[in-house]
Structure 1
């Protein structure tokens, strides 16, 4: 017991020492770690959105295939019954028709092919058998495709689970850092990251007021989308997978904003790279969709070098310098 108690005490001491060495030593270090965790969680959220979109599309395909399989099976059942009726009539006349063997066969397709090739059936039955063989092949192909797509769907569901686990782990780590800080330190750590020569206003997190956004000269769709997004600035929080109306992730905000203009967009920042019409980076206008951070982030251009977006966990929908979000990948316009 003494040895076990000593071992347990040593383990606790080592654990505490490790935790202490891993803990941020300054507010600046804490801020950097929390921002890194939140950025990683936001990137994982987009991976989750992408896998979810693909899974939903596959589920739709599987549903269509399953309906077609059911329809094909019903046709095959009807034609098999017809052949069976002919066989029964001939059986009563003293002849055993090959279709009787069909009804008892463990492999109808193989039997039908063989019977047809050996000319063991009359012309009417041959036509029915040929049709039935073709439908059996079609049904088998559809079942194989459905099985393949179900397997792919399971893989996507696994990706979604992994992305969600990554999100939760990053946010839990960030929250652990915040919990160890004083209230004053938490205010500093939670403040938007400075940079690019911009200083956030004291009244809120945005670096630009919505009243400063110039909506003139843009399309009706872009104007509607911008007005919708502007109404969420400093109000709606970032939530992984959020698509509105009161919480968003980055692609969820862009999707929801343009939906108010009747335009359907994917809930995935990487897919936003191909929507609308491509625009040179040098010709960006307010309301353009801007994809950056290697595709992990997307927002709406607010003019004056600013991006209106849902930045990452811990922040609300915000207007921040484009320079905060790395290299621009694509600019798209409606």
Structure 2
């Protein structure tokens, strides 16, 4: 009995010590705030990735054009060198090669012009051909230098993309770690859409507003087509970084895809959406207008009644939520 009593006392002491050293229990509200913060940060990093990708694609197109121009100019230079070579061959068959022609065939024909003492050293045809060759070689060297510079910029953007991608993965991993430590009931509560501005989500579904409540009257045919496309994805298509449809989306990917259905080509980048279409004021808001907010990190389509149809962040599907949830408006654009 003495031994058992001692063992029990020890167990109680250890239990008390463990409780004292244990980390404070995270409330559902705290977990939700952290998970939402991580997911919003991941969504912001996604737009940084999208922006770098858009720039990288533009640079790639420019580099491709430069390389085509370099190849064209190289062909011209090669042709002109071949002409000089034929002149040299003809003179060789006649017994000697004019020193002027030998110099023109040197690796640096500019040297010839610098050393030529007077115009009598070369005939007019040779002088014209050499001038053209020198100009082509200078142009070719400039194109090669520009291409090298653009390729360097490309490498910088690729590193930026990798950094943004790593940030996305880190934030989502941290959020998932928090979710894994919760009960199934808590996970449901944490994954529910956040209600900014005092709004609370409905008892069923994830949206604050039904697509059937969206009034499409009085808007352009372009905006109507885009809205119908986006509305078909509400509560269906999940947020995925880099997603641009038809079944997964990030915020700018959804807007790009929806307006693409209306024949409008948009960039896959929320910051670029600040400049598309025509700017309108908040007082003139109409359904289908493109709204950029969260400092430029988010973009969606106005659904009316103070609501935004968008792909909010990882963990949610395309949704309709209060504009107030997404902070101040940066730009409103219309087609």
**TM-score strictly above 0.5:** yes
Check conservation: 1:213, 1:303, Cα contact below 8 A: yes
Runs of 5+ unmatched residues, structure 2 = 1-20
* Cross-structure match for 1:114: 114
Query: In structure 2, what is the Cα distance between the partners aligned to 1:218 and 1:178?
Result: 42
Query: In structure 2, what is the Cα distance between the partners aligned to 1:311 and 1:65?
Result: 39
Residue 95 of structure 1 deviates from its aligned partner by 4.3
Distance change >3 Å, CA 118–CA 245, structure 1 → 2: farther
Query: In structure 2, what is the Cα distance between the partners aligned to 1:273 and 1:117?
Result: 62
* Cα deviation digits, residues 266-317 of structure 1 (max 9, x gap): 0000000000000011111000000000100000000000000000000000
* Cα deviation digits, residues 69-112 of structure 1 (max 9, x gap): 01100110010110111122223343433232343x3x424324
Distance change >3 Å, CA 265–CA 116, structure 1 → 2: farther
* Cα deviation digits, residues 7-34 of structure 1 (max 9, x gap): xxxxxxxxxxxx975x862111111110
* Cross-structure match for 2:9: none
> Which TM-score applies when normalising by structure 1?
0.90
Name the SS of the counterpart of 2:330 in structure 1: strand
Matched, 1:157 2:177: no
Matched, 1:96 2:98: yes
* Cross-structure match for 2:202: 201
Check conservation: 1:116, 1:126, Cα contact below 8 A: no
Runs of 5+ unmatched residues, structure 1 = 1-18
* Cα deviation digits, residues 176-228 of structure 1 (max 9, x gap): 11011110110111111123232211221100000000000000000000000
* Cα deviation digits, residues 46-65 of structure 1 (max 9, x gap): 00000000100110111111
> Which TM-score applies when normalising by structure 2?
0.90
Matches within 5 A, 1:181-192: 181-192=182-193
Matches within 5 A, 1:270-309: 270-309=271-310
* Cross-structure match for 2:7: none
Check conservation: 1:84, 1:100, Cα contact below 8 A: no
Count of matched residue pairs? 315
Distance change >3 Å, CA 248–CA 24, structure 1 → 2: farther
Query: In structure 1, what is the Cα distance between the partners aligned to 2:197 and 2:212?
Result: 22
Check conservation: 1:280, 1:331, Cα contact below 8 A: yes
